[in-house]
Amino acid sequence: MNLETYYEYCLSKKGVTEHFPFDDDTLVFKVGGKMFALSSLQQWEKGEPAVNLKCDPERAVELRADYQEIQPGFHMSKIHWNTIAVNKGVSDVLIKQLVDHSYELVFKSLTRKLQNEIQELQN
């Protein structure tokens, strides 16, 4: 997966916005003002891309056991976030599924009003 594919996939979700809240390097994708994906642009440029994605705690443990490339979230809650090394042993299909999972977890945590507003958006 390249950066453009990751970027476009995240932005293809309803109500997603991109931000740089921490520094000029860390690209953050949010839905309803809450983060669901983040990644260092410098790491992509170095050829060592990784993404941080929110994950159900039980599933996170299973994924970490199954994939050496999936680790507890770097600089994040180790219970709710995973860091996935991109272009290693995790397929692009699984990475997209994990982006979907992260988006859904965050979306479901939003107020019903905000969920409805986002669902009404036209892409």
Per-residue pLDDT at 92: 96
Per-residue pLDDT at 74: 86
Element (H, E) at 98: helix 92-109
Alpha-carbon distances, residue 35 vs 45, 63, 91 (angstroms): 22, 21, 23
Per-residue pLDDT at 75: 87
Per-residue pLDDT at 93: 97
Alpha-carbon distances, residue 109 vs 24, 98, 102, 116 (angstroms): 28, 17, 11, 13
Per-residue pLDDT at 121: 80
CB 32 within 8 A of CB 106: yes
Which domains occur in the chain, in start order? Answer: 3-113 (3.90.1150.30)
pTM of the model as a whole: 0.95
Positions of the chain with pLDDT under 70: 122-123
Angle at 47 between CA 44 and CA 51, to 5 degrees: 40
